[in-house]
Amino acid sequence: MTRSRMTMLQEALLWKTALGYLGPSNLYQTVVDLWRQAGVPARQTVEYLTYDTVGDEVVIILRNAQAQVGAMMPGQEIAPDTCALYSRHADELAGGLLERLPVRELPVCLRGFRLESDLGM
């Protein structure tokens, strides 16, 4: 899990970078694996990732992975261009992607988050 919270723009850049590096199939499998390890959120704060912020392919991958692991948002109707997920899960998924991507593949603005994670800060 990342210690400092990324902005939505940084998180969107991370998702786009992961899609470019891993490809759709590997990103999907990685997200499923990470989501299965995610803990139950203490607070049920929700985040929304949309086509506009992360792109349609990432939202589709997230929604499919969410359904696969049974992490759908109960009692909420979500627009087709949006993925709603708990903030804790969003943070854990981002942190997991950050750890799995080679540093050289990360945009410079995300490398500090990786360094924090590597150093346990």
- What mean pLDDT is predicted for residues 4-17? 91
Is residue 36 in a domain? yes
pTM value is 0.89
Domain housing 16 = 8-119
% of the chain exceeding 70 in pLDDT: 95
Task: Considering only residues 112 and 29, tell me which one the structure prediction assigns the higher pLDDT.
Answer: 29
Is residue 1 in a domain? no
Structure tokens at 80: 């087709």
Reported as a single tens digit per residue, the pLDDT across 24-81 is 999 999 999 999 998 888 888 899 999 999 999 999 999 999 999 998 888 878 999 9
Domain count, the chain: 1
Is residue 2 in a domain? no
Q: In this structure, how many other beta carbons lie within 10 angstroms of the beta carbon of residue 92?
A: 20
DSSP 46-99: EEEEEHHHH-HHHHHHHHHHHHHHT-PPTT----TTEEEEEHHHHHHHHHHHHH
Look at residue 116 in the predicted model and tell me its pLDDT. 80
